[in-house]
Amino acid sequence: MVDGIKRIFEDEAIIVCIKPNGVASEDGKASGMPTMLSKGCGNKPFVVHRLDKEVGGLMVFAKTKVAAADLSVQMQSGLFSKEYLAVVEGETETTSRYEDLLFHDRGRNKTYVVKRERKGVKDASLGFTREGLAFYNGEKLSLVRIKLETGRTHQIRTQFAFRKHPVFGDRKYGSHGVGQFALFSAHLSFRHPLSGEQLSFSEKPEDAFPWSIFNEQILKDIR
């Protein structure tokens, strides 16, 4: 661990690490992940994908322009796989796939499901499996594993909230839950940009509320 950032893997081309909740994926007015990581590797890494500031979990950064370009191509061609864990409000389907048209309002920094295609509207799709169901204060909560098929701004948050299943702790999208923002980047799979070796990384969220209300074995079994 360097400067409070847990590094899962690092070589001359990439850094795979755990982004903490509340830290920006890229640098802005406040220090984000690239600057924090540069303190340990000398140069500021390249951002190749993003997580919302509120979301924690696995991220990969490129240490060279060549590596960044290769990873970007993999994302565009569907060779880069991302899975998330989330605790959402209510009882979801056991397994399902959501397809929507999304519009991101930059002024409000909020994404909406819309009915018609127009400028700025993008298609969005994801699949998920419910891994657990629990009760908290008389309300149902679902633990879901999500496979992103597209990468739109606030996509998971928007698509689940639209179906009355906001991510626990996501007040922006209608959650009434008070606690840790319960969306976590749990699995990344991609080809190493230099060697071509297929790499896979998996992590679980910390055993803190609301994750802690689910059976520990369920989380252990999630790859």
Non-local CB neighbours of 76 within 8 Å, separated by 6+ positions: none
CA-to-CA distance for 187 and 196, rounded, in angstroms?
19
**What mean pLDDT is reported for the chain?**
90
Q: Interior CA angle at 90 toward 181 and 49, to 5°?
A: 40
Three-state DSSP class for 101? strand
State pLDDT tens for residues 100-144. Answer: 999 999 999 999 999 988 888 999 999 999 999 999 888 999 999
Q: Report cis status (omega within 30 of 0) of the bond before 20.
A: no
Is 141 within 8 Å of 210 (Cβ atoms)?
yes
Question: What are 81-106's pLDDT values in tens digits?
Answer: 999 999 999 999 999 999 999 999 99
Region of 22 please: left (phi>0), alpha (psi -120 to 50) or beta. Answer: left
pLDDT in tens, 31-75: 678 877 877 666 789 999 999 989 999 999 999 999 999 999 999
Residue 55: what residue type? V
**What residues are labeled active site?**
52
H and E: helices and strands count for the chain = 4, 11
Q: How many other C-beta atoms can be found within 10 angstroms of the C-beta atom of residue 49? A: 17
pTM, two decimals, is 0.90
Q: What is the pLDDT of residue 132?
A: 93
DSSP bridge partners of 88: 142, 167
Q: What is the pLDDT of residue 219?
A: 57
